[in-house]
Amino acid sequence: MESINLIESFSEFKEIKNIDRPTLMSIIEDVFRSMLIKKYGSEDNFDIIVNPDRGDIEIWHNREVVDDEFAEDSFDYDEAKHIGLSAAKKIDEDLEIGEEITTPVKLDDFGRRAVLAVRQNLVSKILELEKDGIYKKYKERVGEIMTGEVYQIWKKELLILDEDGNELLLPKSEQIPSDFYKKGDTIRAVVQRVEMKNNSPVIILSRTSPAFLERLFELEVPEVFDGLITIKKIVREPGERAKVAVESYDDRIDPVGACVGMKGSRIHGIVRELRNENIDVINYTGNAQLFITRALSPAKITSVKIDDENKRAEVYLKPDQVSLAIGKGGHNIKLAGKLTGYEIDVYRDTDVDVEDVDLEEFADEIESWILDELKAIGCDTAKSVLELSVDELVKRTDLEEETIKEVRNILQAEFE
């Protein structure tokens, strides 16, 4: 028989991603059934056979042979169910009334417009199913790391293609500030969310999410992947610093040591992936005071006072530890607060003589080159600077008068 070959071959649809063969065949069959219903009012007397290997579709029409008078005059005659004896004998001379005849349905029987419509319907349904398949696939992979290739670079986002050619988006807000990519670069990121926009799936990736760092730990540290070490919480300032609280239920395993690895071998790969983000791995504990002390690493804490009701903590340190506790740009203390859930206030230990303060303690407020200028003339402490007049400091350093006044105000405020 002349098979219905709507498409040059099924290869056009064979390689469709995310759609299994039985589903694809079912869609094709449904599309043709709807075409038969439109032409004949019913598809009950038709058999549809999809041949994906041969690349064609066969439709067979089953009808009962009736006498010619019934075919011509009876209101019960239905061309979808019946065929007159004369017409039947033209196909097979041996047929008699009451027997069944099966004939092939040709594409020409439907007309060109119907064929075009069915093709459009078929393409539309398959694209719809493909989009739905991509949506479901990535919805199940939220929180997992994906590797893709940078395909296009825009001002606010990157377009990335996965191994199947699906389009993924990495917004600027989800990139580490020092990230820089060129077209064709391989990129790793975590699937943050999947949403439908205009009936198309939009997959958003992230490199700044704590989940990305957690997945990297699972890849680099077998004990984390196996569940021997649990990551309790992660907080990040992307590209700057991260704090990871870990815990092991096996006393034989040192969770911090296992995560860092011999000479930092395990954590080095993670740090490199995150553009040299500093990562502090600390032992989790239910003891709030101890947890806060560990969270403020690398600073050494003298004592901690907890106010559980207001979730505040007063932390006392020696003067030379204050800048370490606060960290560059305040990242250390901010992350320690997020990790522990406490608002942390830092105080210099009152038992220590604070008549004078080392200039290094102001590293988070005064730029390092200015401090170096002051140290070069022998001023290592706040008071040694304040003892000199503005004019004297202008003469002895390369600093401008306005800068010196600003520095003196900062130092003076310390003692007030």
Tens-digit pLDDT profile for residues 76-100: 787 788 888 888 888 888 888 888 8
pLDDT digits (tens, 9 = 90+) for 196-225: 998 889 999 999 999 999 999 999 999 999
* Contact indicator for 135, 196 with CB cutoff of 8 Å: yes
* Contact indicator for 195, 202 with CB cutoff of 8 Å: yes
Label residue 350 by pLDDT band (50, 70, 90): low
| Domain covering 141-206, topology | OB fold (Dihydrolipoamide Acetyltransferase, E2P) (2.40.50)
Mean pLDDT of 318-347: 89
- pTM score of the predicted model: 0.66
pLDDT at 11 over 60: no
Q: Could you identify the residue written with the tokens 């099924």?
A: 10
Tokens linked to 15: 């390689």
Strands of the sheet containing 312-317, edge to edge, are 301-307, 312-317, 343-348
SS3 state of residue 278: strand
pLDDT at 13 over 70: no
pLDDT digits (tens, 9 = 90+) for 111-127: 777 777 777 777 787 78
Peptide bond into 298 cis (omega under 30): yes
List the Cα angle 151/155/159 in 5-degree steps: 25
* Contact indicator for 48, 57 with CB cutoff of 8 Å: yes
CB atoms within 10 A of CB 410: 13
AA identity, residue 26: S
* Short-list 80, 35, 79, CA closest to 57: 35
Q: Could you identify the residue written with the tokens 């991260």?
A: 242
Separation in Å, CA 204 to CA 100, 135, 169, 320: 58, 12, 5, 44
> What integer pLDDT is reported at residue 159 of this predicted model?
96
Which has more confidence, 335 or 414? 335
Mean pLDDT of 151-158: 94
CATH no. for 11-136? 3.30.1480
Tokens linked to 375: 């140290």
**Highest mean pLDDT out of 28-32, 190-194, 198-202, 372-376:** 190-194
Mean pLDDT of 317-334: 86
> What integer pLDDT is reported at residue 1 of this predicted model?
35
Label residue 18 by pLDDT band (50, 70, 90): low
Mean pLDDT of 376-396: 86
Tokens linked to 102: 């099966």
270 CB-near residues (< 8 Å, 6+ apart): 213, 216, 217, 220, 279
* Short-list 106, 108, 107, 86, CA closest to 97: 86
Label residue 352 by pLDDT band (50, 70, 90): very low
Separation in Å, CA 140 to CA 79, 177, 191, 202, 386: 50, 28, 10, 14, 63
Q: Give the range among 25-39, 142-156, 226-240, 244-258 with minimum mean pLDDT.
A: 25-39
CATH no. for 224-343? 3.30.300.20
pLDDT at 7 over 50: no
pLDDT digits (tens, 9 = 90+) for 398-413: 889 999 999 999 888 8
